[in-house]
Structures are given as structure tokens and as C-alpha cells.
């Protein structure tokens, strides 16, 4: 079955040669609903082996035991599911630029397929590999319903400018996935990964403990069906209520690729549950694709200077406004501020690796208000988000940080101290939305 051409993007112009097809798995760590793996399977056809390679980079962008544990457990499930289809799974420790080339030479690989990922680190790996390889390196967008490279060729200003482009194309791209077929021509079975010795060899930062959420493709599908069955109706009202915990909590499964956002969109679109559907589809398609669009076209996506000029100007004009409260990075990290509500949010983050979307905005905006300057505020938001969120180091997180601190994809509001015309939020706003007392006692006692 041919996958949609627009999902495929050649990263070099080498010709395919004989030998196995290699799928270099990175962002989409799942077996089914994976356009990159489906394309690699299509290239393998009936007469070539197909090998899947994951390059494990210890301490990737500051990842701790929390994220690594979640990811490794998910990869163990990938190894099992691939074996059942006669597809070898290799895991190599170290620099992907070297490991991919080594694997290609070792196995006599004829072509390599890998995942689209707008993050600078991934683009760098792929560029390096594409220029060294003598065989094709083919990028497939397995993360977006409408491929990021097709939906727009520039940084979009806001959801309202991207939404019509997505709506126009979604009927063409919101298609169901074919099942991944077992391999006909299996490679010699690879030795199973020795997960135990791998873990002991990794210098994982154990100061951030694993979380209760069960990782992996099957747990992700269970979470999706639970959300569609119970979380969708009333989603429109309750999605901003952190006590109701009404959100889909699928973000960690999307981040590690255990679940395709397209699968979630298909399940929700097909659920027939009217009111929550439209709101959720806006988030899982438009908002998520807006984040990939921003990171793809703005290399300063993880810096304050990736923010729109109007916001940088207004924050600069208010740089020397008095700060009634000031906290250091360590005080924020330890949830030691004067605000019980803010401390409850930070405690939820420290303990559960998750913070509800609405609280994330309040939490980040207060860091802007209580930091010495916008640059250090933004750095604190990104550092804490990436260290403690299970879904940190993700385009969604970088966009969320800049939306909260510096008005990205938002508009100017009435001016006030410190914020300038960046949107203000406070605990009264939270109190209007949900039972803040219940939330505080849930996390502070
Ligand atoms: N991707 C990889 O290809 N190799 C890794 O070792 C790796 C580790 C990792 C740890 C934490 C984390 O949050 C993400 C990690 N990723 C890794 C990237 C992840 O797979 C996603 O592709 C991106 O972070 C999302 O753009």
C-alpha cells in the first residue's frame, strides 16, 4: 500500500541499492500506525529484509531516569511486536551519526527511512547522516496528520492562520492507517536487546523518579479508548479543570511516539460525541501541528528571542518594573513561593511528571512575574518543563513556554506592570475555572 507522497521527503539524492531496508526509529516509537515504518515495509516488498534501529543517546537533552525509564519500557514492547512480524530490532548506544552509518555498512543496507522531527538536534543528526550515506536517507512525517512540510512553507503567525490550511487538507490526510504486514524475507533474527545490562550501563539521572503512568503502545491505546469513552463528552467544559483531570493525558504517548496523534484524531472524529470532539480535534491537530510548524521554521524555538517582536518589545519596556516577588531557579524548583496554588502546581509536576494544560499556563506566567527578567524566566520555564514533564523536550513544550512568557501565537492585551501587553493570568482566574482549594489540598498535603 503506498503512503501519501506528501509525507515523504528525500534528505539526499543517492540511488537505492540492493540489500535490507533500514528504518531508523526516533520520534515514532511504535509498530502500528507508523508512516515511516510502513514506508520502509513498502520499500522492502517481498524480497528484502527490513531492520529497525533505535539509537539511544544517554542524557538526551537533559533527560532523566523519569523519561528514559518510560521510553525504554516502550521500546521493549516495540522489540516484541516487531519480532512477531519477523522484523529485527537493533538498539545501539551512542552518537546516531556514527551508529546509523555503522549499521548501514555492517548490514549492507540499501536505503534508510527515518522520522520527521523539527528539533534542531534531530535535524542535525539527519543532515550529517544524509551527507555521509551512499544510499538514500528518506524522511517520513509520522507525527502530523497533514505533513508539516506540506501544510505551510513558513512560520505561521497563529492558529487562526494555520487552521484553514489544515481544514482544507485534512480530508485528504486524515485517512486510516493500513496494518503493518509481517515480513516475507526475514533477516537473520537479531540477538534480543539485553535491557537489564543496558540500564545498568546507562548513567541515568536518578534524582527524578519514574512516574506511575504505564508506557508503551498498548497502554497508549487503552488510554485513548478510555478518553474517547469517558473523557470526551463534557470535554469542552472540563478540559480547563485540573481537578477533574479531564484531559486525555495522551501527551507523553504522543511525545515518545507510542501513539500517533492521527490515531487519536481518527478515534475522536469517529466517536460521534459532538461537543468535545471539535475542541479536542482543534488541540490534537491544529495546536499540535502549529508547534511543529513553529519549531521547523524558527531555529530559536527554545529561546526567548523566538518570540514575536511586539512581545519582546513590551517585555523590554517593562524590564525595570518593580518585581513585588522574586524567586531563584532553585526556589521555583523546590515549590517554595508565597503562592499555595503555584506551589501545588510545581509539586504536581515534581511528583507526577504531569501538569494540567491550564495550570501550565498559570505556572509559567507566574515565573515571568516573579523572575528578575524575561530571559531568566523563560530559561526556568523550559528547564523545569524539560526536566520534570514526562513530555518535555517536545515542540509543544517549547511553544507553550513562549506562549505563556512571551505571547507566541497570542495577541497583545491591556498593558500592566512586568507583563506589558503579554496576556496576564492570576489565581482569581483559576478560582473562576475550578476548585483551587481541592487542587491545593490534593498536592500540598
Ligand atoms: N530520540 C532518539 O532518537 N534517541 C534517544 O535516545 C532519545 C532519548 C530521549 C529521551 C527523552 C525524551 O524526552 C526524548 C528522547 N528522544 C530520543 C526524542 C524523542 O524520541 C522525540 O523524538 C523528540 O523529543 C520529540 O521531538
Q: What are the residue ranges spanned by the domains of the chain? A: 5-142, 144-177+216-299, 304-444
304-444: which CATH topology? Answer: DNA Cyclobutane Dipyrimidine Photolyase, subunit A; domain 3 (1.10.579)
State if residue 26 touches ligand 1 by the CB under 6 angstroms criterion. yes
- Provide the pLDDT for residue 295: 98
State if residue 143 touches ligand 1 by the CB under 6 angstroms criterion. no
pLDDT bin (cut points 50, 70, 90) of residue 334 is very high
Flag whether pLDDT at 138 surpasses 80: yes
Residue nearest atom 15 in ligand 1 by C-alpha distance: 60
- Provide the pLDDT for residue 246: 57
Q: Distance from the CA of 60 to the center of ligand 1, in angstroms?
A: 7
Q: Point out the ligand 1 atom lying closest to the alpha carbon of residue 119.
A: 26
pTM of the model: 0.96
Flag whether pLDDT at 216 surpasses 80: yes
- Between residues 7 and 63, the one the model is more confident about: 7
Chain segment 388-399, per-residue pLDDT in tens: 999 999 999 999
| Average pLDDT of the residues in 399-420 | 97
Flag whether pLDDT at 165 surpasses 80: yes
- Between residues 34 and 356, the one the model is more confident about: 34
Mean pLDDT taken over the chain: 94
Distance (Å) of CA 142 to CA 2, 262, 281: 14, 9, 17
| Average pLDDT of the residues in 246-259 | 88
Q: State the Cα–Cα distance between residues 61 and 57, nearest whole angstrom.
A: 9
| Average pLDDT of the residues in 107-135 | 98
- Give me the percent of the chain exceeding a pLDDT of 70: 98
| Average pLDDT of the residues in 155-178 | 96
The answer to whether the CB of 122 falls within 8 A of the CB of 27 is: yes
Q: Distance from the CA of 26 to the center of ligand 1, in angstroms?
A: 6
- Provide the pLDDT for residue 145: 97
In CATH, the architecture of 5-142 is 3-Layer(aba) Sandwich (3.40)
- Between residues 273 and 63, the one the model is more confident about: 63
| Average pLDDT of the residues in 373-402 | 97
| Average pLDDT of the residues in 253-277 | 91
CATH of 144-177+216-299, one of 1.20.120.140, 1.10.150.120, 1.25.40.80, 3.30.1330.10: 1.25.40.80
Flag whether pLDDT at 381 surpasses 60: yes
Flag whether pLDDT at 235 surpasses 90: no
- Provide the pLDDT for residue 179: 97
- Provide the pLDDT for residue 243: 67
Chain segment 77-113, per-residue pLDDT in tens: 999 999 999 999 999 999 999 999 999 999 999 999 9
State if residue 121 touches ligand 1 by the CB under 6 angstroms criterion. no
Euclidean distance between the first and the last CA atom of the chain, given in angstroms as a whole number: 55
Q: Distance from the CA of 352 to the center of ligand 1, in angstroms?
A: 20
| Average pLDDT of the residues in 238-249 | 68
State if residue 55 touches ligand 1 by the CB under 6 angstroms criterion. yes
| Average pLDDT of the residues in 286-293 | 97
Flag whether pLDDT at 60 surpasses 90: no
- Provide the pLDDT for residue 279: 86
- Provide the pLDDT for residue 126: 98
Amino acid at each position: 500500500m503506498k503512503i501519501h507522497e506528501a509525507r515523504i521527503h528525500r534528505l539526499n539524492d543517492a540511488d537505492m541499492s540492493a540489500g535490507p531496508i533500514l528504518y531508523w526509529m526516533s520520534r515514532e516509537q511504535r509498530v502500528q500506525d507508523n508512516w515511516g515504518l510502513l514506508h520502509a515495509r513498502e520499500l522492502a516488498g517481498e524480497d528484502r529484509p527490513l531492520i529497525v534501529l533505535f539509537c539511544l543517546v544517554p542524557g538526551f537533552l537533559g533527560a532523566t531516569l523519569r523519561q528514559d525509564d518510560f521510553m525504554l519500557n516502550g521500546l521493549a514492547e516495540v522489540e516484541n511486536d516487531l519480532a512477531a512480524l519477523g522484523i529485527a530490532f537493533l538498539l545501539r548506544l551512542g552518537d546516531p551519526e556514527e551508529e546509523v552509518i555503522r549499521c548501514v555498512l555492517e548490514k549492507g543496507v540499501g536505503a534508510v527511512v527515518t522520522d520527521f522531527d523539527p528539533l534542531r538536534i534531530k535535524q542535525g543528526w539527519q543532515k550529517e547522516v544524509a551527507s555521509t550515506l551512499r544510499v538514500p536517507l528518506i524522511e517520513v512525517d509520522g507525527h502530523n496528520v497533514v505533513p508539516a512540510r506540506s501544510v505551510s512553507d513558513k512560520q505561521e503567525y497563529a492558529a487562526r492562520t494555520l487552521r484553514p490550511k489544515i481544514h482544507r487538507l485534512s480530508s485528504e490526510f486524515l485517512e486510516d492507517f493500513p496494518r503493518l504486514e509481517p515480513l516475507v524475507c526475514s533477516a537473520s533474527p537479531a540477538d534480543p536487546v539485553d535491557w537489564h545490562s543496558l540500564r545498568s550501563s546507562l548513567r541515568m539521572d536518578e534524582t527524578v523518579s519514574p512516574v506511575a503512568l504505564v508506557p508503551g503502545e498498548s497502554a497508549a491505546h487503552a488510554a485513548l479508548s478510555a478518553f474517547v469513552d469517558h473523557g470526551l463528552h463534557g470535554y469542552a467544559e472540563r478540559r480547563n479543570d485540573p481537578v477533574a483531570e479531564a484531559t486525555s493525558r495522551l501527551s507523553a504517548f504522543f511525545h515518545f511516539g507510542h501513539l500517533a496523534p492521527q490515531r487519536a484524531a481518527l478515534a475522536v472524529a469517529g466517536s460521534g460525541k459532538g461537543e468535545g470532539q471539535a475542541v479536542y480535534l482543534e488541540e490534537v491537530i491544529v495546536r499540535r501541528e502549529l508547534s511543529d510548524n513553529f519549531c521547523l521554521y524558527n531555529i530559536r524555538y527554545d529561546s526567548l528571542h523566538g518570540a514575536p517582536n511586539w512581545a519582546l518589545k513590551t517585555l523590554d519596556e517593562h524590564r525595570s518594573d518593580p518585581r513585588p516577588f522574586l524567586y531563584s531557579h532553585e526556589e521555583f524548583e523546590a515549590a517554595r513561593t508565597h503562592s499555595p496554588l503555584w506551589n501545588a502546581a510545581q509539586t504536581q509536576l515534581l511528583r507526577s511528571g504531569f501538569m494540567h494544560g491550564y495550570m501550565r499556563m498559570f505556572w509559567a506566567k507566574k515565573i515571568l512575574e516573579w523572575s528578575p527578567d524575561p530571559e531568566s524566566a523563560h530559561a526556568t520555564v523550559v528547564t523545569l518543563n524539560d526536566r520534570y514533564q514526562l513530555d518535555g523536550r517536545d515542540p509543544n513544550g517549547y511553544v507553550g513556554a513562549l506562549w505563556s512568557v512571551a505571547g507566541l501565537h497570542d495577541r497583545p492585551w491591556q498593558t500592566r506592570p512586568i507583563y506589558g501587553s503579554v496576556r496576564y493570568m492570576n489565581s482569581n482566574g483559576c478560582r473562576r475555572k475550578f476548585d483551587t482549594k481541592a487542587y491545593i489540598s490534593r498536592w500540598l498535603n
